[in-house]
Structure 1
Amino acid sequence: MLRRKSIVKLAEDECLPEVQRILRERLSQKSVQTQVYGLDSQRRHLLDLMRRCVSMGESNSALVIGPRGSGKTMLLQSVLDEVKSDKIAKENLLQVNLNGLLQTDDRIALKEITRQLQLENTLGDKVFGSFAATLAFLLEALKSGDKTSQPILFVLDEFDLFAHHKNQTLLYNLFDISQSAQTPIAVIGLTCRLDVIELLEKRVKSRFSHRQIHIFSSLTFEEYKEVFVEILSLPKTFPERKFMQQWNQHVKELSEETMTVDVLQRLYHSDKNIRALKSFLLLPVCKLTPDHCQLESTDFLESSQYLTMDSKAAMLHEYQKFVQRKGHSIQCYEKPVVLKAFEHLQALELLKPADGGQRSQKEYRPMTLLVDATQINDALQKYPNCPTEVKQWNTQEVHA
């Protein structure tokens, strides 16, 4: 076990701020980890596709499909890092990144393609009759003097949103070009929609390769623990080598402690993707201070309890404590009375069933509130006989 005195001494030598900087940067959502865990077969499939495009000029298209946080971006970045490790491939490969949340129509998407390929001056004020003609001109402009073309990678994040563009013109043209032998391009779509193929028009489907790479992690618990240790370990390039060795040894020992293992097992069985693990580790890392200069099992237990807290249950528990206080004017009513009052709120159209009211018993129907928090707050402030306790409770909830 790492001795506390030696850790404190090294922390006073400004090691701890550097530790926090490294770990926070590693855990932030902006940091895309390129080490792939439990996705070996999917990685080989995508790597083979990319290599053929870059080295052999073979065009293709594929969809990477998986839940949010499952590692789609991480997988693609890992493949690109390996492809670009070859100097020639790195210099030749052009990459265009589009996002369905940002490029909301084909005109905006075309403008972004022009910007990323640095062809604004080439396009100039030219007027084209169609989207296809404009895109063809841009790709033709990239050809060198011997009429060969650089391979281009189009990454379409939130791919399903591009399917909502008018006539799906962008998708049709990209897939159409990927089937031709003129310009080597790879079109990679990232999406969490399992039914995304059903969103495509018939003419778009006919030009899509129908390659689908599904992201389902096969990470074992032992591998999951190894990822835990790797994320929290300091790199070999850390300035203080002795501190780095002691810190890494402590992290390894910590991963074998009973409390830590129990917490990690609960997290693994509920959500074993790496993004969830990073979110879980953020609180313990942020708690590091000169007075709390090493990670403890209790830090992970606290983080687990915080992440698994049910906000609605906590709110109801808080309300229950409130109505049980002495001296308040709020009364408790029987269930039939409450249900009748609830039906009255529906009759006033302040609430409505989220499912149309046909799929479940009235006691268990999901409801949609038709007024927002601001309207409720204004109404309570203007209501002359509103109990003070209700006003105070509303104020607490708004600030919360």
Structure 2
Amino acid sequence: MSKRKAKDAQLPVGECITELQRILRERLCHQQLPDKPEGVEAQHKHLLELLKRTAVHGESNSVLIVGPRGAGKTMLLKCVLRDLLEEKEIQKNLLQVHLNGLLQTDDRIALKEITRQLHLENVVGDKVFGSFAENLAFLLEALKKGDRSSSRPVLFILDEFDLFAHHKNQTLLYNLFDVSQSAQAPIAVIGITCRLDVLELLEKRVKSRFSHRQIHLLSSLTFDQYLDQVQTQLGLPDDFPDTVFAEDWNDSIKTLCEDKSVEEVLQRHFNSSKDFRSMQMLLMLCLSRVSVAKPAIKPADLLEASRLCFGDAKANMLHGLSILELCLIIAMKHLNDVYEGEPFNLQMVHNEFKKFLQRKSSSMYNFDQPVVMKAFEHLQQLELIRLADGSSAKQQREYQLMRLMVDNSQIMEALQKYPQCPTDVKQWAMSAFG
């Protein structure tokens, strides 16, 4: 087939949409790494050199990558590791241990995870160690090569680094930094955190063993760059099987980004968060509406996706409450208005509810005390109410002081959307006094 014919070859729309969905979902859901990270070239170079010194020359290092959520800290590290592991020798020799402060909540769990990731469960067996340091030293010793002279370099990547600082005595951090400083084994400790004051959390003995190297990532993205990124994220590559479809799609995306209403939606997202993941979530919601019957993203799709992204989770939760639970929330709203936000207890809420029943003289909402108590507990489980500061969980249930975690506007919005909400309940909520 000639080149011209190959270029003009068109696939059925269904196949094009399937391939489009595959490419874009991989990019948006699996957070495909860019070929070259933009705007962080200096940080990329610095980190790559640092890790190369550990991987090639066996030099120990420690470094913190600091920046707000969504600034690209993990993306930067993954790009550096990808570039580092391009060399076969490094790939064969380098070991990685990934820990996360949200998962490894104490040093015992962290040590177990280190052992598992280094595949040393059989080596450790049933051995009993006197201390954490002894155990870690044994693990690193076990990584020595056949001639026992040189150890394999290990990268310790600590995500949510600040949470490790809350571990008892900061034993894990102390020992890792101690090993990296004393050159017992070639290791690099890389911490990822969004807390700028993270060094203040470290104990003196831990801080003295840390190299104090920090790589800062701050989002300097402008709105024009943000728009370009949206276009790039939704664009199809040049090697797409059907060039005509790809060109049409890319033109439609360009037109979409120039639409005034779309620009306003994206400006709102940009102002609330420059986080790439929230942008990808928005675009993913748009992409899910693309089908053979509708092979393009329209401004209305983006508006709907934005509405879902900015949806108030607490207000949505109120839609699923029973009438009794909704009445208790309204009673709490009136107590908040009367007592200017002071905490309340179940007894006060129940009395407020009874006042409403007496006025309506309706037997429809008559519930026994245990049923009301159960509804109150359910609201607490949903975290729509919580114990007030200083109130004890040991107190008798009826007298525990609580606070309402939704405001009046959220309650009123939920009432408008509540399916078949009784008129008298709506009127009670709207009345100035309970």
Instruction: State the alpha-carbon separation in 2 of the partners of residues 277 and 284 from structure 1.
Output: 11
Q: CA shift at 1:208, angstroms?
A: 0.9
Equivalent residues in 2 for 1:205-244 (5 A)?
205-244=207-246
SS of 1:23's equivalent in the other structure is: helix
Instruction: State the alpha-carbon separation in 2 of the partners of residues 278 and 106 from structure 1.
Output: 35
SS of 1:291's equivalent in the other structure is: coil
Alignment length (residue pairs): 347
Instruction: State the alpha-carbon separation in 2 of the partners of residues 162 and 226 from structure 1.
Output: 37
Instruction: State the alpha-carbon separation in 2 of the partners of residues 344 and 213 from structure 1.
Output: 45
Over 3 Å counting, the alpha-carbon distance change for 1:11 and 1:259 in structure 2 is: farther
**Are the equivalent residues in 1 in contact too, given 2:335–2:344 (CA < 8 A)?**
no
Equivalent residues in 2 for 1:181-196 (5 A)?
181-196=183-198
Deviations 1:288-339 (A, max 9, x none): 12221101233223323443345567899x9xxx9xxxxxxxx99xx99941
Over 3 Å counting, the alpha-carbon distance change for 1:308 and 1:124 in structure 2 is: closer
Instruction: State the alpha-carbon separation in 2 of the partners of residues 65 and 308 from structure 1.
Output: 27
Deviations 1:192-219 (A, max 9, x none): 2222222211111111112222221122
Q: Which moved more, 1:305-314 or 1:75-84?
A: 305-314
Q: CA shift at 1:51, angstroms?
A: 1.9
1:197 maps to which of 196, 199, 204: 199
Instruction: State the alpha-carbon separation in 2 of the partners of residues 193 and 100 from structure 1.
Output: 13
Structure 1's consecutive aligned runs of 4 or more residues displaced over 4 angstroms after TM superposition are 309-316, 335-338, 340-344, 346-356, 387-393
**Are the equivalent residues in 1 in contact too, given 2:343–2:403 (CA < 8 A)?**
no
Q: CA shift at 1:83, angstroms?
A: 0.9
Instruction: State the alpha-carbon separation in 2 of the partners of residues 265 and 180 from structure 1.
Output: 50
Instruction: State the alpha-carbon separation in 1 of the partners of residues 72 and 206 from structure 2.
Output: 27
- Match of residue 377 from structure 1: none
1:273 maps to which of 272, 275, 279: 275
- Match of residue 59 from structure 1: 60
- Match of residue 292 from structure 1: 294
- Match of residue 33 from structure 1: 33
Instruction: State the alpha-carbon separation in 2 of the partners of residues 86 and 135 from structure 1.
Output: 28
Equivalent residues in 2 for 1:1-400 (5 A)?
12-28=13-29, 30-31=30-31, 33-34=33-34, 36-146=37-147, 147-310=149-312, 338-340=337-339, 345=344, 348=347, 368-369=403-404
Instruction: State the alpha-carbon separation in 2 of the partners of residues 337 and 70 from structure 1.
Output: 39
Instruction: State the alpha-carbon separation in 2 of the partners of residues 77 and 86 from structure 1.
Output: 15
SS of 2:133's equivalent in the other structure is: helix
Instruction: State the alpha-carbon separation in 1 of the partners of residues 167 and 336 from structure 2.
Output: 50
Instruction: Give TM-score, length-normalised by structure 1.
Output: 0.75
- Match of residue 384 from structure 1: none
Unaligned residue ranges in structure 1 (runs of 5+): 1-8, 323-330, 357-366, 371-386, 394-400
Instruction: State the alpha-carbon separation in 2 of the partners of residues 216 and 69 from structure 1.
Output: 10
Deviations 1:112-161 (A, max 9, x none): 11111111222222222111111111111111134112211001112122
Instruction: Give TM-score, length-normalised by structure 2.
Output: 0.70
Over 3 Å counting, the alpha-carbon distance change for 1:292 and 1:11 in structure 2 is: farther
For 1:191, the aligned partner's letter is T
**Are the equivalent residues in 2 in contact too, given 1:32–1:74 (CA < 8 A)?**
no
By relative contact order (CA 8 Å, sep 6+), the higher-ranking structure is 1
**Are the equivalent residues in 1 in contact too, given 2:343–2:388 (CA < 8 A)?**
no
Instruction: State the alpha-carbon separation in 1 of the partners of residues 344 and 115 from structure 2.
Output: 54
**Are the equivalent residues in 2 in contact too, given 1:260–1:297 (CA < 8 A)?**
yes
Instruction: State the alpha-carbon separation in 2 of the partners of residues 352 and 139 from structure 1.
Output: 47
Instruction: State the alpha-carbon separation in 2 of the partners of residues 105 and 284 from structure 1.
Output: 41
Deviations 1:328-371 (A, max 9, x none): xxx99xx9994159769459576789678xxxxxxxxxx8349x
Instruction: State the alpha-carbon separation in 2 of the partners of residues 390 and 86 from structure 1.
Output: 73
For 1:224, the aligned partner's letter is Y
Over 3 Å counting, the alpha-carbon distance change for 1:149 and 1:344 in structure 2 is: closer
Q: CA shift at 1:47, angstroms?
A: 2.0
**Are the equivalent residues in 1 in contact too, given 2:55–2:90 (CA < 8 A)?**
yes
Unaligned residue ranges in structure 2 (runs of 5+): 1-9, 324-329, 350-384, 391-401, 406-420, 428-434
Instruction: State the alpha-carbon separation in 2 of the partners of residues 390 and 149 from structure 1.
Output: 76
Instruction: State the alpha-carbon separation in 2 of the partners of residues 152 and 204 from structure 1.
Output: 20
